[in-house]
Amino acid sequence: MTGTPKTIMLVDDDGTIIETLTYNLKRHGFEVVSYTRGMEALSALASLDTLDPCLLVLDWMLPDVTGPEVVKLLRERSCEVPVLMLTGRSNPTDIAHGLSSGADDYLAKPFSPIEFMARVQALLRRAKKDKELQDSKIALGPLFLDEGARKVTFKGQPVDLSPKEFALLKVLMINADKTLSTDVLLNKVWGSDYQGDVKTVAVHMRWLRQKLEEDPKNPQLLETVHRSGYRLNTPATAN
């Protein structure tokens, strides 16, 4: 890594994990700041003029608040720092809860230093691509997406989306009326090096339907194409 070192924030109450991850991150040229409590990390992140981490690595179980609670509070403050959640939980419901809070990826314990660094680098590459994207505006009838302002409106009403929901909707809108496979969506939204659960696409589609469909159980706008993938029907042609 060249240039000014990037800072990664670690939040975990396990001293051994902090020590191990700090060692590996510094070997790859990163600066590291660490906290053992979620509220301490939130206080530090509130002053981004003095602390501007490129990534937050956050344990699910903390002494004061849970990891998902920390991420939810961050996103409410419009803090877009990427978040990698560390968790000993593998239940799909728990994973969905962690992602719905606004985390960008999760890593199940136990994990190897090699896998950890691969996830870190993958998240940073995706974050860099997101920043490099030129502002764009897409309108499909009453559905409007403004990438520069990070806003979506539908039938004149604002729609509150997480970063990944926003990115997924953008890809679907760009390819309106085309069927996109799960693999294609994973590649375009999560990146070709994504190593998480492929079911994350279905989870995020469900959340989008809850926010955009009149009847999420009978979707007309965001269609599942059996054994093929998903398609966004433009509002003018949705049945």
Does residue 21 contact residue 116 with C-beta atoms inside 8 Å? yes
Residue 150, by phi and psi: left (phi above 0), alpha (psi -120 to 50) or beta?
left
Structural domain including 116 reads 7-132
Q: How would you list the strands of the sheet with 137-140, edge to edge?
A: 137-140, 143-146, 151-154, 157-159
The answer on pLDDT for 13 being more than 60 is yes
Residue 219 vs residues 22, 31, 214, 237: alpha-carbon distances, Å: 46, 46, 8, 13
Radius of gyration, alpha carbons of the chain: 19
Alpha carbon 16 to its chain's center = 27
pLDDT in tens, 156-195: 999 999 999 999 999 999 888 999 999 889 888 988 777 7
**59 and 175 in a common domain:** no
| Domain boundary, last residue among 132, 150, 175 | 132
Specify the higher pLDDT residue, 50 or 43. Answer: 43
**Domain harbouring 68, CATH code:** 3.40.50.2300
The answer on pLDDT for 2 being more than 70 is no
- The pLDDT score that the predictor gives to residue 227 is 81
Average pLDDT, the chain: 86
Does residue 6 contact residue 56 with C-beta atoms inside 8 Å? no
- The pLDDT score that the predictor gives to residue 92 is 72
Banded model confidence at residue 224, pLDDT cuts 50, 70, 90: very high
| Domain boundary, last residue among 132, 161, 179 | 132
**Domain harbouring 167, CATH code:** 1.10.10.10
Is residue 54 assigned to a domain? yes
Specify the higher pLDDT residue, 50 or 49. Answer: 50
Q: Taking Cα atoms as reference points, which of 116, 100, 89 lies closest to residue 200?
A: 100
- The pLDDT score that the predictor gives to residue 136 is 75
**126 and 143 in a common domain:** no
Banded model confidence at residue 134, pLDDT cuts 50, 70, 90: very low
Residue 153 vs residues 52, 92, 167, 206, 235: alpha-carbon distances, Å: 30, 30, 14, 18, 13
